[in-house]
Amino acid sequence: MRLLEHEAKQIIKKCGIPVPRGEVVKTVDEITFPPPAMLKTQVPVGGRGIVGGILAAATQQEIRHHFERLLATPVRDYLPTSILVEEMVELEREFFLAITHDTVTKMPVAVFSSQGGVDIEALAREKPEKVVSMHLSPLRRFPSFQARELVARAGVSGRLLIQLGAVFARLADVFFEYDATLAEINPLGLSKDGHLLALDCHLEVDDDAQPRQPEIAAIEKQEARFAGGRETSEFERRAQEIDSMDHRGVAGRVIEFPGSLGLIIGGGGASLTAFDAVRQHGGEPANYCEIGGNPSVFKVTELTKHILSKPGVSKIAVIMNVVSNTRVDLVARGVIKGILEKGQDPSQIVAVFRVPGAWEAEGFKLLDKYGVPYCDRTVSIDEAARRAVVSTMP
Amino acid sequence: MAILADEQTKVLVQGITGREAASFTKDMMEYGTQVVAGVTPGKKGQSVYGVPVFDTVAQAMAYQPADAAIISVPPLMVKEAALESLLNGIKLLVIVTERVPRKDTVELLELARQTGATVIGPNTLGLISPGVVKLGMAGGPVADVKKAYMPGKVGIASRSGGMTTEIANLLTTNGIGQSTCISVGGDPVVGSNFLDLVERFYKDPDTEAVVLFSEPGGVIEEKLAEWVQAEQVSMPIVTFIAGRFVDEMPGMRFGHAATIVEGEKGSTKSKIKVLERAGVKVAHAFSDIVTILRREYEV
């Protein structure tokens, strides 16, 4: 989960990292902060500055004007419901600090650049010597002396080195205490009067750790923190409902596509494989869908009916990997039942049924009874996809 | 034959009284795996399919020393369970539990490095060396395992649990046997990734080729390509990368720092490019895995 800037700043401030003075407001009348001020849109995406999500105001009138404008301006499909109004800080220098997990070495890693406030990815590409990093022990964390070692490698010394080391160590504490997967300050500014201030902060918290992070869980539960993101379609929402109607198995993590071939595929890697294969053979999927974990007949029935209810869907392909946990016969029963309840003929609607594995003999018997075309484990996932696509061609 | 474990490996199951753990314990034993003890705090004296249950790993080790521990406990208890086995001298952990917090994973992996232990998972279905041993849930009940897997000389490592069996099945139905098949685990940070496992397969005299199942995200395939080039690896490696359509979908983004560490990599397109440049064979359709294996390696 990505925190909004003001939420992240609240946390690092509590942990001893200075941030600019400011306030978060939802309506223009709440604004008490005097000009000159910076106004920053609160949406959970980066690169706000480039798209006009951060504006400077010199007068009271400008503050009000910018506020209204930011509130009405979507940033990559997100709309803010609050704006951060902050003091304007005159900066001497800017730095970049971040801590994340390196998936290759399987260790936390600290990244520093003495050129902050820039597109750090571009900098790392063009001037890799400007970006230094160091792996950390999750048990020792990142003591100030170690942070100073890293910062010194970037050529910083003197009083600034000591200041930066202290801020970095605190950022590491935030990273570990809050189960973050990313803690980043960019830029960390050095003000004209010699103080370090986190001008922007990006915290991503591990969803899997939420049970032990009550403070973060509470933030996530707050309603209307922002609006938008990728819109879930009515079709997708209905699929989620079906999934939540029964705790057994997964059937209904669905994404809608414009094609005509309904897909019941699963799970995880197999659905990716099957979806790619359908497209490679020229098929046009109507949806992406994961099923697995031994869903109940009821769930598969409802899902089948749902996919068939989408306008333009004339056939369904059911393709899964060799299953050992999910039962083939239950999937077959659910698919057939769903089609019958729609008043249609399973032998005409199923383009291909390829679910080999546990209880397959019982499943195949059922499919035979209704004349549904199926294949066993000797037919690969991509061959099954090809057959499905061919059967939908005129 | 096998990497990581063999018929001599003595196995302990942490969380053995759980429904899922009890079920895979039975499957493992029926496949011939030596499950010597189980641990569930507070349940000493019970037994699960004849396997005695102890309160602590120390008690279990005093009763019968084990070489490997399968961990199937609630997510927030995984770190402690791993620590308990590591400090009792166990050298191979298979962590079945999913949704383990990332911080706990990196901490337990640091401890494993200190004790010289190997970790598979978290979020793994386990591993199988066909005809030899099975650790965890991989392949399900014995009857199913026997249909999908057969002994041979091709190693499999897969980022998708279900596809481990699917690839083995593809090879088996085409008469190609497997040495060891490993479900790497679905998490971004896992104890043994492709880089670690391919190196082990490369050193294993009984493995002559390797098949990898990959997904979008992460940079391990890129690192593998670097390693293959640097070491001039001669063993045939065939990869299949699922989820090409994800490249075209919005919303897949890494954090800033992650993209610095990982560069602008992680897309399937980028993975395919660097792997092919390094001489790793990429199957563009799933069944091409077999075609390529037959071409690259006499099977």
A215-266 pLDDT per residue, tens:
999 998 888 899 887 677 889 889 988 988 888 888 877 888 899 999 999 8
Q: What percent of chain B has pLDDT over 70?
A: 93
Task: Determine the Cα–Cα distance for residues A210 and A218; give it in Å rounded to an integer.
Answer: 10
Q: How many CB pairs under 8 A join A and B?
A: 182
Establish if A102 touches chain B: CB-CB under 8 angstroms.
yes
Q: Which residues contact B226 (CB under 8 A, 6 or more apart)?
A: B278
Element (H, E) at A233: none
Mean pLDDT of B80-108: 97
Mean pLDDT of B252-273: 60
Mean pLDDT of B224-251: 87
Mean pLDDT of A325-353: 97
Strands B34-39 and B51-54: parallel
Which of B102, B219, B257 shows the shortest C-beta gap to A206?
B102
What's residue B252's pLDDT?
A: 38
Which pLDDT band, with edges at 50, 70 and 90, does B152 fall under?
Answer: very high
Each residue's pLDDT tens digit, A50-76 = 889 999 999 999 999 999 999 999 998
What's residue B217's pLDDT?
A: 81
Mean predicted lDDT score pLDDT of chain A = 94
Kindly list the distances between the CA atom of residue A3 and the CA atoms of A48, A229, A365, B134, in Å, as whole numbers in the listed order.
15, 14, 52, 42
Please give, rounded to a whole number of angstroms, the shortest distance from the CA of A220 to a CA of chain B: 17
Query: Is A100's CB within 8 Å of B261's CB?
Result: yes
Task: Determine the Cα–Cα distance for residues A293 and A263; give it in Å rounded to an integer.
Answer: 17
> Is B256 tagged catalytic?
yes
Does A23 have pLDDT greater than 90?
yes
* Strand order through the sheet with A250-256: A250-256, A287-292, A261-266, A315-320, A350-354
Give me the residues of A, 155-214, that contact B with CB < 8 A.
176, 179, 181-182, 184, 186, 202, 204, 206, 208-209, 211-212
Establish if B252 touches chain A: CB-CB under 8 angstroms.
no
Which pLDDT band, with edges at 50, 70 and 90, does B261 fall under?
Answer: low
Kindly list the distances between the CA atom of residue B221 and the CA atoms of A28, A38, A233, A293, B177, in Å, as whole numbers in the listed order.
50, 43, 34, 28, 24
Contact A277, A323 (CB under 8 A): no
Does B253 have pLDDT greater than 50?
no
Give me the residues of B, 18-37, that contact A with CB < 8 A.
none
What's residue B1's pLDDT?
A: 59
Establish if B261 touches chain A: CB-CB under 8 angstroms.
yes
Task: Determine the Cα–Cα distance for residues A18 and B298; give it in Å rounded to an integer.
Answer: 65
Name the more confident of B247 and B103: B103
Mean pLDDT of B18-26: 96
Please give, rounded to a whole number of angstroms, the shortest distance from the CA of B285 to a CA of chain A: 7
- For residue B133, list its beta bridge partners: B129
What's residue B215's pLDDT?
A: 87
Task: Determine the Cα–Cα distance for residues A72 and B92; give it in Å rounded to an integer.
Answer: 56
Query: Is A209's CB within 8 Å of B166's CB?
Result: no
Task: Determine the Cα–Cα distance for residues A350 and B130; give it in Å rounded to an integer.
Answer: 35
Options B110, B256, B257, B285, the catalytic residue: B256
Which pLDDT band, with edges at 50, 70 and 90, does A290 fall under?
Answer: confident
Please give, rounded to a whole number of angstroms, the shortest distance from the CA of B140 to a CA of chain A: 5
Task: Determine the Cα–Cα distance for residues B190 and A274; give it in Å rounded to an integer.
Answer: 25
Strands B118-120 and B92-95: parallel
CA quadruple A118, A122, A126, A131: dihedral sign? positive
Task: Determine the Cα–Cα distance for residues A249 and A291; give it in Å rounded to an integer.
Answer: 7
Report which listed range, A125-134, A253-262, B212-221, B277-286, is most confident.
B277-286
Task: Using an 8 Å CB-CB cutoff, list chain A residues near B141.
Answer: 324, 358
Contact A206, A180 (CB under 8 A): yes
Q: How much is the pTM?
A: 0.94
Kindly list the distances between the CA atom of residue A271 and the CA atoms of A26, A291, A297, A347, B275, in Å, as whole numbers in the listed order.
43, 8, 20, 23, 23
What's residue B2's pLDDT?
A: 81
Residue A187: is the preceding peptide bond cis (ω within 30°)? yes
What's residue B251's pLDDT?
A: 47
Kindly list the distances between the CA atom of residue A300 and the CA atoms of A41, A270, A288, B90, B98, in Å, as whole numbers in the listed order.
43, 17, 15, 43, 24
Task: Using an 8 Å CB-CB cutoff, list chain B residues near A270.
Answer: 160, 162-163, 166
Give me the residues of B, 210-249, that contact A with CB < 8 A.
213, 215, 218-220, 223, 240, 242-246
- Is the ipTM higher than 0.90? The answer is yes
